[in-house]
Amino acid sequence: MVLLDTHIWLWWLLGDGALTPAERNTLDKLATERRLAISWVTVWETEMLERKGRVSLAPNFQSWIEQATIPEIVTVLPVDIDLVFAQRKLPEYFHGDPADRLIAATSLLSGYPLATYDRKIIESGVCDIWSA
């Protein structure tokens, strides 16, 4: 299983962003094998991006999210108290962004490598980083 950071999930599904063709193909393959996951934070973060006009989701946010989170595409990992405890264990120097903290904590708690281009997360070394 691979956990997708919000930008990776959106780039993959919207067909834009910095993903290489090899990364896209690998994500497609992992999806057919039901080996992709996102944190519930990714859904919330996507709503915030859509509300601010930074992403456009057709025909609308709710329909797009309902289709993008079907189990045949991705497993949505829920929030629980253990996730809150896990993010509190991140080092002081780690990313200050709450969404990134929760996504990294989700990677740690689940044991799934994180697919991300976020330099702060990668350089922190707190979780395993996926590569295609």
More confident residue, 113 or 131: 113
Domain annotation for the chain: domains and CATH numbers: 2-124 (3.40.50.1010)
Q: Region 12-40: what's the mean pLDDT?
A: 96
Helix and strand counts by DSSP (H, E) for the chain: 7, 4
Q: Vertex 48, ends 21 and 95: CA angle to 5°?
A: 75
pLDDT confidence band for 132 (50 / 70 / 90): confident
Model pLDDT for residues 68-119, shown as the tens digit of each residue: 999 999 999 998 999 999 999 998 888 788 999 999 999 999 999 999 999 9
Contact 78, 94 (CB under 8 A): no
Q: Which of 29, 10, 12, 2 shows the shortest CA–CA distance to 110?
A: 2
Give the count of beta carbons closer than 10 Å to the beta carbon of residue 120: 14
| Predicted local distance difference test score (pLDDT) of residue 93 | 86
| Predicted local distance difference test score (pLDDT) of residue 45 | 97
Model pLDDT for residues 27-45, shown as the tens digit of each residue: 999 999 999 999 999 999 9
CA distances (Å), origin 92, targets 89, 96, 101, 128: 9, 9, 11, 18
